[in-house]
Chains A and B, each alone.
Chain A
Amino acid sequence: MTATPHETTSASRTAGIPFLLKTACINALIALVLFSLMVGIRTEAGSDGQLTYWTRFGDLASLVAAVFGGSIVIELLRQWIGPTGAEKLVPPAVQRGASFVGRYLAPALLIFTLLVPVIFYNQRYILDLAILVLTYVMLGWGLNVVVGLAGLLDLGYVAFYAVGAYSYGLLATNFGWSFWICLPLAGILAAFWGVLLGFPVLRLRGDYLAIVTLAFGEIIRLVIINWQDLTGGPNGVSGIPRPSFFGIPLDNSDDGLAAKLGIEYSPTHRIVFLFYLILALALLTNWVTIRLRRLPIGRAWEALREDEVACRALGINTTTTKLTAFATGAMFGGFAGAFFATRQGFISPESFTFQESALVLAIVVLGGMGSQLGVALAALAMIGGFELFRSLETYRMLVFGMAMVLIMIWRPRGIIGHRAPTVYLTKAQAISSDLVKEGHG
C-alpha cells in the first residue's frame, strides 16, 4: 500500500504519447473556447454607430496551436525533470547561499533603509517612493497582527487608516492641536473603532467575518462622504498642518529648523524628516509586535489561529483575545493614517477605498502570514515593483498579476511561510508552513 504514491508518479512519468496528446488537446480546447470570442471575432462600432465585426481565425488558430505545442513541451519537461519543488529546482549551493543571506537580510535591510535619505538625498522621487513603501510596510505589520497572528480575516482594514487620518486632520484643522498630541489620539480612536467593529463580528468566522469587515470598511467611507458638516464630504479636509520637529517648524521662516541650525533651507529636509518619522513609526510597530508575540497575549493570538475550541478549553477568554488583536491592529492603522494625513496635507474619502484594504491584505498574504520580514519584503515588492513596471504602461497590471500568481505557485504560504517559535528550551527551529494553520476567522 505504501508504494502506491511512488507507483503513480512513475506511471505518469512514463506516460506515453496518448497521454501527452490528450493533455495537449484538452488545453488547446480550453484555449479555443477562451479565445474564440476574445481574439477570433473583432467587433467595433462603425461610423454610424452600427456594429461592424470581422473574424480573425488565423490569429485564433496560431494561439491554439501555440497552447497545444506549449503544453506538450511543458509536459515533456515535467516528465524529464520529475516532480518540481524548490529543493529540486534550486541547486544546494544556491540554497546554502540563500539561507546565509536570509540570516543577515533583516539587519542589512534595516541599515540600508536608515541610509536611504543619505544615498538618495537628491532624488526626490526615490525618497517619496520610500516613504510610500514604508507606509505600506507599517500598514502590513499592523494588519499582520489581526490576519497573520490571530488569524482573523479583515477586509476592512482601511477603515482604521481612515479613522486615524481623519482624527488627525480634523483635530489639527479645527483645534490646532499639534501632530505629536494627535498621533496617540489617532491611534486610540482607531483602536476604539477596532473594538467597536470587533464586538459584533466575534461570533463570525471565516467568510462571514471577511464580509462584515468589508462592509465596515465601506460604512466608514460612506459616513465620511456623507457627513459633510464634519468631514467636508467628498471635498475632503485640506490644509492639514505639516509635522514640526517637536515644535520647531520645518520651513523657510526665521524660526524654522534650518535657520536655527544655521544651514541653508531646502524642501528636502521635510521629506527626510517624514521618511525618518514613518521609519520610526514602522519600527515601533515591528518592535511592539515582536514583543507581543512573546507575551502571553501574543501566544494566545496564535493559539486562537491554531484552534479556538482548544483555547476555550484552556480557559482563554477568546472574546477579549480577539478584541485586543483587532484593537492593536487598528491602533497601528490609526498611526499610519495620522502620518498619511500629515504627509499629504489633504485627505479625502478617495484615499480609503476597498482597493487599499485589498492591497494591504495582499502584502500580508504575499509576505507570509505572521512573518515580519516577509511582510516588509512583500510591501517593497508590491509597491516598489508596481513603480518598477511603470515603463510597461498598459501591460503593467498584466505583468504584475502574473508575477503574483507565480509567487503564489512557488511559495503558496508567502515569501516567508515558516513560523519562528516564541520560546524555546535548547534550539529555536523554524516550523514548517504546512503545519501552521491559517485560522478560520
Chain B
Amino acid sequence: MSGQTILSVDRLTMRFGGIVAVQDLSFAAERKKITALIGPNGAGKTTVFNCITGFYKPSGGAIRLTPDDGRQIALERLNDFRIAKQAKVARTFQNIRLFPGMTALENLMVAQHNALMRASGFTILGLIGVPTYRDAEKQAIALATDWLKRINLLDRADDAAGNLAYGDQRRLEIARAMCTGPALLCLDEPAAGLNARESAALSELLLSIRDELGTSILLIEHDMSVVMEISDHIVVMDHGVKIAQGTPQHVRDDPKVIAAYLGTDEEEAAAVMESGS
C-alpha cells in the first residue's frame, strides 16, 4: 500500500485560536491518480491545502509525502518554500497568483528558479556568462515553450500574464506549477470562474498531466462536472472532518454527502449531483 500512496495525511488538526478548522482528518492520495477534496464552503479544504503546502503549520497530526524514489518526507516539519523546493509539492491558488507584470514565458522561467540558480552557480557563473548556464537557460526556455504549447498559449508567450484572459491565466498558473517539476500537484479550485468549454479543456489538461507525465494531483473543486469526470478518488469534508470517501460513483450515492454537502433539501441536492454526472 505504501508504494501506492504518495501523500498520507494522518489525524491532521488545525486550530486558529479557539476555532477548529480541521479536526483529526486522515486520508491518502494515490500515486499517479487524481484525488479530489470536496465539501461545502468553510469545510476546511483550503486549510488542509495550506497545511500540506506549508503555508500553515498544523496544530497536530502528520503529513507524509512518499515521492517516487521511496523517501518519506514529513511535510509538517518543513516550512515555507522548502516544501516546494525539497518535497516538490507545487500548488495553485484559489484567487490566481501569477506575476501579472511579467510575461507568460517569464512566469514559467521563475518557476524553474531553483534549477537555474544551481546552473548559474548561484549567479556568479551566470554573471560571467559560462556556457553551461546558457545551455541550462535554453533548456528552461524549451520546457516553458513546451508547456505553453500544452496549454495553447504559445502565441501569447511574450504577453504580460496580467493581460491574459481569465481562463488562460488559470491554465498558465497550472503550467507554472508544473514547471517546478512537482511530485504532487495541488490545485485549489482550478475550474472556478471557467465556462463549460474551458472546464472541459481543463479536465483534458489535468488528465494529460496524470496520464502522460504521471504526476499525482490533489485538487479542491466546486465544479462537480470536473470532479466527477476526472477524479479517481474523492474525499468529502464538512466542518473540518471527513464525512465520506471513495470513488465518484460511491460518493455521489452517499446520503450523508448529499445531506451535508448540499444542505438538507435532498431533492435539490439530488438535482445538483445529477448535473455532475
Contact = CB atoms under 8 A, between A and B. Distances in A.
Give the one of A303, A419, A428, A429 with max B CB within 10 A: A303
Interface in A427-441: 427-429, 431-432, 435-437
Contact of B114 (A303, A316, A431): A316
Interface string B91-131: 10100011111110110011111101100100100110000
Given A303-B102, A318-B81, A425-B105, A296 B158 contact: no
B218 interface: no
A431 B160 contact: yes
Contacts of A427: 158
A399 to B, nearest CB: 34
B35 interface: no
B84 A314 contact: yes
A316 B145 contact: no
Contact of B123 (A292, A307, A312, A436): A292
A419 B145 CA distance: 22
A288 B127 contact: yes
A106 interface: no
B90 interface: yes
Contacts of A315: 81-86, 113-114, 180
Contacts of A425: 105, 141, 145, 154, 157-158
Interface string A308-320: 0111111111100
A435 B127 contact: no
Nearest to B181: A315
A404 interface: no
A314 B98 contact: no
Contacts of A299: 102, 106, 109-110, 113
A435 B157 contact: no
Contact of B80 (A300, A312, A428): A312
Given A315-B81, A423-B106, A295 B120 contact: yes
Contacts, number: 140
B159 A429 contact: yes
A226 interface: no
B102 A313 contact: no
Nearest to A303: B110
A432 B112 CA distance: 25
A429 B104 CA distance: 12
Give the one of A311, A314, A423 with max B CB within 10 A: A314
Interface in A405-433: 419, 421-429, 431-432
B162 interface: yes
Nearest to A295: B126
A154 interface: no
Interface in B190-240: none
A297 B123 contact: yes
Contacts of B91: 313
A317 B97 contact: no
B53 interface: yes
B20 to A, nearest CB: 25
B249 interface: no
Contacts of A306: 99-102
A435 B98 contact: no
Contact of B158 (A313, A316, A324, A426): A426
B51 to A, nearest CB: 14
B101 A419 contact: yes
A83 to B, nearest CB: 22
Contact of A307 (B85, B98, B109): B98
Contacts of A314: 81, 84, 90, 110-111, 113, 176-177, 180
A431 B102 contact: yes
B97 A309 contact: yes
A289 to B, nearest CB: 11
Given A295-B120, A314-B180, A436 B101 contact: yes
Contacts of B132: none
A114 B91 CA distance: 50
A317 B114 CA distance: 9
A312 B116 CA distance: 16
Contacts of B137: 423
B163 interface: yes
A431 B101 contact: yes
Contacts of B113: 296, 299-300, 303, 314-316
A296 B120 contact: yes
Interface string B155-179: 0011110110000000000001100
Contact of B100 (A288, A313, A428, A437): A437
A77 B202 CA distance: 52
Nearest to B115: A296
Nearest to B145: A425
Nearest to B154: A425
Given A296-B113, A296-B120, A421 B106 contact: yes
B160 A316 contact: no
Nearest to B104: A425
Nearest to A312: B81
A235 B97 CA distance: 53
B102 A296 contact: no
A303 B158 contact: no
B13 to A, nearest CB: 23
A276 B83 CA distance: 49
Contacts of B98: 307, 310
B127 A292 contact: yes
B176 to A, nearest CB: 7
A6 B127 CA distance: 51
Contacts of B86: 315
A431 B120 CA distance: 26
A315 B158 CA distance: 24
20 contacts: A297-B117, A302-B99, A307-B98, A312-B55, A314-B110, A315-B83, A316-B110, A316-B113, A317-B85, A318-B81, A422-B106, A422-B109, A423-B105, A423-B109, A423-B141, A424-B157, A425-B158, A426-B157, A426-B158, A431-B101
Interface of B: 53-55, 80-86, 90-91, 93, 97-103, 105-106, 109-114, 116-117, 120, 123, 126-127, 137, 141, 145, 154, 157-160, 162-163, 176-177, 180
* Top 8 closest pairs, chain A to chain B, by CB: A315-B84, A436-B101, A315-B85, A306-B99, A296-B116, A435-B162, A310-B97, A425-B157
